[in-house]
Structure 1
Amino acid sequence: MGNVLQIDAELKNIVVRNEIDNSPFKIGDSLLKIENKSIDSFQDFISIVSILNNNESVNVLVKRDNSIFTLKCSKEILEKIRFNNLISGFATLTYINPVTNKFGAVGHPINIGNTKKIPIKSGYISCTNNLSIKKSSKGCVGCVSADKKFVIGDFHSNTNFGIKGNVSNLDLCSYKKYKVASLDEVKLGKAQIILQDTDNKCKKYNIEVVGIEKQRRPASKGIKIKIVDKELLRQTGGIVQGMSGTPIIQDDKIIGAISHALENNPAMGYAVHIKWMVEENS
């Protein structure tokens, strides 16, 4: 818990990653078919585009949000736009079930542009070392970067509250076990987060729970928190990208995971109740 992970995944679809003039595509659009030919890999995309006529209008079936529709464009547009089906980034390990070896991380869905909960074909999580931190400041959320060590698990599930999968290459003997708190056990006041530090050790830092949403059904931002630990504030300036999924401990129970930072005050942020994160799609 609290380990900074490198997350690598192949997506189920080719996705638009930039926007250009005179293009009908939006960042996050998923390409399903070109001229009624299915796109199941990046190689499919390259092969189909290569045989298109330069001066003809091209029909492209796309998925945007939850809608599927056809767009028309030129071969030139398809050659200029950046498409890919790979993602890579950093987030934090929230929990591992010691009985099932199932893990949860991130605390929010992986989205690209307009595409929410981007479908994953196959994904992997790796442990890291040599952390480097770009501090957050008012109006600018910082970020974590690190060196990838080795793969410790895989995942296919991208849920409203993060990714879920299985750990297969990690010794859990040295990890402390925590009970999962119910919603009514979360209270205002002192708490701690567990996060990997620059010495590659998972360490506790002081925070305060300053707000609690009384949620009757699964939803994000159920807990509002404030980072008060002077050492962590000196290192990070508050919450940074890559801390999503950081577990929160109160009264020796895990109560939630960091999911969002407040850009105008990065010492403040939101967390998802651990109950929602553990139970979703379980």
Structure 2
Amino acid sequence: MEITKYFFRRTAAAAGALTLTLLGVAGFYDRTLPDSYSVAHDGKLELNTFFSISSRPAKRSYMTALTDLSGDTSHGRESTLMLFGAVPVKDVTAVCSERPKLVPCGETFGIKLLTDGVIVVELTDVGGRCPARECGIRKGDIIISVNGRNIRSNRDISEEVRKCRDSGCEVVYRRDGKDKNVMLEPAYFEGGYKAGMWVRDSSAGIGTLTFFDKDSGVFGGLGHAVCDSDTGNILPLSEGAVGDIEITGLIPSEEGSPGQLLGEFSGEEVLGEITLNCEAGLFGKLENSPDEKEEVELGYKQEVHRGSVQIYSSVDGKAPEPYSARIEHIDLSDGVEHDLVVHITDERLIGETGGIVQGMSGSPIMQDGRLVGAVTHVFIDDPTRGYGIFAEDMVSCAEKSR
């Protein structure tokens, strides 16, 4: 009898511990997994997570089905995510739509951006004081207008400050998405009136195209925002252009020192326009397809799994080539900074570049014949590894740039 009781207590304790563990895992996924998913027309929703998660129609969806005889699921269908097919995690929305088809690229492109307003990159004393700091302007603020004149360059600010002399200038600047009005009293220094700030009004560089939509001409590239090098803030875009770039050299990556592609604009010809600079990359329209590749299907984020992939990139200015790699980590969480960790395994690419170099950002990631992501950043301490972004998130942003 005592043995039976002991066995029962041990079994009950183990069952309780297992239940608590399952509830803890379910709670973690409830907090971190997205509330909405895109799915193909078959409506199947399964997640490639560490622990097995499938889905079943949510209970309230049965009532919805009785009232919606059309079968239209384009507005979304309620599903319940299930841990190991048994433990409910959360109710989510699965939106059925036709899976997009896109041309995976891998070509390098030249980036030219003009800012909407100018970014304050440094404050400095002039004549023993800093007028900009005195009126509340800080590094990273965006100067929108001075005395009612829209500002596009450092020259614009200088001209307006000279006009107002010591009578004061009305300055409108933007911080954290909010505009503020202040009066700036210039300082007389070295024969002229100064505001005491350095600003940036443009940027140029090299990136890699991720995809091209043949039907709309829309492209996506880079996989991350173009940010100001001094403030780290996303450059507010006024207008941008895609230029033809000629790769002139390569500095390989090594531990502690990321390499980079070297290049220069090969002419004044504009190949397309950039209309959006956001956290997911650069988006706009190209005059022509960068290459005559075949379209492939988009892979949705929940379909991406750990394992072998190919990345397409051009590190010598020639046609993009496929290189072998592996996805080592996936994070489906909403608002996470990095979606993927990618490990370059192709000895050919490692021999040429050391792994990932600056300028490869945007290189498309292919898995199971679908476009699933893009390379974004290189690890400083291990250039064979880097971060990536889901292609689905880039395509969502591309739709906003149409």
Interval containing the TM-score (normalised by the shorter chain): 0.7 to 0.9
Q: Residue 219 of structure 1 contacts residue 276 of structure 1 at CA under 8 Å; is this kept in 2?
A: no
Q: Residue 161 of structure 2 contacts residue 194 of structure 2 at CA under 8 Å; is this kept in 1?
A: yes
Cα deviation code 1:209-247 (max 9, x no counterpart): 0001123x4654111111121221222222222121111
Instruction: Give the direction of change, closer, same or farther, for the CA distance of 1:269–1:210 in structure 2 (3 Å limit).
Output: same
Partner of 2:366: 249
**Which of 136, 145, 148 does residue 33 from structure 1 map onto?**
145
Higher strand share: 1
Partner of 2:113: 9
- In the alignment, the residues of structure 2 paired with residue 101 and residue 219 of structure 1 have an alpha-carbon distance, to the nearest angstrom, of 29
| Range with bigger deviation, 181-190 or 126-135 | 126-135
Q: Report the residue type matching 1:142 in the other structure.
A: G
| Range with bigger deviation, 100-109 or 20-29 | 20-29
Q: Report the residue type matching 1:237 in the other structure.
A: G
Instruction: Give the direction of change, closer, same or farther, for the CA distance of 1:263–1:80 in structure 2 (3 Å limit).
Output: same
Cα deviation code 1:40-72 (max 9, x no counterpart): 33253232022243x676664322333444485
Partner of 1:222: 339
**TM-score calculated relative to the size of structure 1:** 0.87
1:111 equivalent to 2:215? Answer no
Higher helix share: 2
1:161 equivalent to 2:280? Answer yes
Structure 2: stretches of 5+ with no match in the other structure: 1-104
Give the 5 Å matches for 1:1-282.
Answer: 1-20=105-124, 23=130, 24=133, 26-34=138-146, 36-42=147-153, 43-53=155-165, 60-69=171-180, 70=182, 72=184, 74-75=186-187, 76=189, 78=194, 81-112=197-228, 113-114=230-231, 116-149=233-266, 150-170=269-289, 172=291, 174-215=292-333, 217=334, 219-280=336-397, 282=399
Cα deviation code 1:171-205 (max 9, x no counterpart): 64x22322110122211111111011315121111
Secondary structure of 1:41's counterpart equals coil
Secondary structure of 1:191's counterpart equals strand
Q: Residue 131 of structure 1 contacts residue 197 of structure 1 at CA under 8 Å; is this kept in 2?
A: no
Q: Residue 131 of structure 1 contacts residue 200 of structure 1 at CA under 8 Å; is this kept in 2?
A: no
Secondary structure of 2:393's counterpart equals helix
Q: Report the residue type matching 2:342 in the other structure.
A: I
Q: Identify which of structures 1 and 2 has the higher relative contact order when contacts are C-alpha pairs closer than 8 Å and 6+ apart.
A: 1
- In the alignment, the residues of structure 2 paired with residue 244 and residue 71 of structure 1 have an alpha-carbon distance, to the nearest angstrom, of 42
Secondary structure of 1:272's counterpart equals strand
Secondary structure of 1:234's counterpart equals helix
Aligned residues: 278
Instruction: Give the direction of change, closer, same or farther, for the CA distance of 1:199–1:145 in structure 2 (3 Å limit).
Output: closer
Structure ID, larger Rg: 2
Structure 1: stretches of 5+ with no match in the other structure: none
| Range with bigger deviation, 71-80 or 249-258 | 71-80
**TM-score calculated relative to the size of structure 2:** 0.63
- In the alignment, the residues of structure 2 paired with residue 227 and residue 281 of structure 1 have an alpha-carbon distance, to the nearest angstrom, of 27
Question: Could you tell me how far 1:265 is from its partner in structure 2?
Answer: 1.8
Instruction: Give the direction of change, closer, same or farther, for the CA distance of 1:88–1:78 in structure 2 (3 Å limit).
Output: farther
- In the alignment, the residues of structure 2 paired with residue 12 and residue 65 of structure 1 have an alpha-carbon distance, to the nearest angstrom, of 15
Secondary structure of 1:279's counterpart equals helix
CA RMSD of aligned residues (A): 2.6
- In the alignment, the residues of structure 1 paired with residue 120 and residue 264 of structure 2 have an alpha-carbon distance, to the nearest angstrom, of 27
Q: Residue 219 of structure 2 contacts residue 398 of structure 2 at CA under 8 Å; is this kept in 1?
A: no
- In the alignment, the residues of structure 1 paired with residue 398 and residue 214 of structure 2 have an alpha-carbon distance, to the nearest angstrom, of 18
Cα deviation code 1:3-46 (max 9, x no counterpart): 11110011111222345456535543211233x43333325323
- In the alignment, the residues of structure 1 paired with residue 138 and residue 110 of structure 2 have an alpha-carbon distance, to the nearest angstrom, of 27
